[in-house]
Amino acid sequence: MQKITIAIDGFSSTGKSTVAKQLAKSLGYVYVDSGAMYRAVTLFAMQNGFIETGCFDKDGLISQLDHIKISFKFNKDLGFAEVYLNEKNVEKDIRSLEVSNFVSPVATISEVREQLVKQQQNFGKDKGVVMDGRDIGTVVFPDAELKLFMTASAEKRAKRRYDELIERGDDVSYDDVLKNVQTRDHIDSTREDSPLTMAEDAIKVDNSSMNLKEQFEFVLKLSEDKI
């Protein structure tokens, strides 16, 4: 059976990664969370003093890009690949609200994007990949056989992200999470380099009123039609 490339883009917390993981598992494809890569670069910047309250040393971060090694290792118990920054598992650290608050400014830097896009294209060079992000169908894999663009209301998305953070024990407020989702949407869709936009040939999936099962069945059918 021929393998295809599936690109899933959309606003923050639209459930892209949930559906991407389900699809990859069901099709026997590799799943790549491109947002985790931007988050890992952001964590590196925070850990190395390039981001401090009120100050972001972009040039300092750019000068260190060659020292940032991002990799994914499959965790059998979890059923998906976790992200490693310079050989350290940072899967949990990169999901904090603090990283979320800085990641969109980091993702506006063209040098960062160039480096990560190259690595993402390499992950998908043999097809059989499901990748989610903001520019996958427009920049990373413009020739992907299936492109999905996920949307849902900001309130619904913030509630999902808030529940996730509370479940893992983070002390956050719903209002702060909503503000973060709205700010990231704005920065991601108005930046100069690779703004978040729906590819012309993408299929829009509004999951505001779909449950996980319905959403999965819908996108699985779309995928099977392309294979």
What is d(CA 40, CA 209) in angstroms, rounded to the nearest whole number? Answer: 32
49: how many CB neighbours lie within 10 A of its CB?
11
Q: Does 147 bind ligand C5P (CB under 6 A)?
A: no
Stretch that binds ligand C5P, among 56-64, 130-138, 144-152, 209-217 (CB under 6 A): 130-138
Stretch that binds ligand C5P, among 48-56, 84-92, 122-130, 133-141 (CB under 6 A): 133-141
Q: Which of 135, 144, 149, 158 binds ligand C5P (CB under 6 A)?
A: 135
Amino acid at 57: D
Q: Does 160 bind ligand C5P (CB under 6 A)?
A: no
**Residue 214: exposed, middle, or buried by beta-carbon count in 10 A (0-12, 13-18, 19+)?**
exposed
Give the strand order in the sheet containing 70-75: 70-75, 80-85, 88-89
Residue 30 vs 107, nearer CB to ligand C5P: 107
Q: Does 34 bind ligand C5P (CB under 6 A)?
A: yes
| Side-chain-side CA neighbours of residue 21 (13 Å) | 12
Q: Does 50 bind ligand C5P (CB under 6 A)?
A: no
Residues found near ligand C5P in the complex (CB under 6 A): 12, 34-35, 38-39, 103-104, 107, 133-136, 184, 188
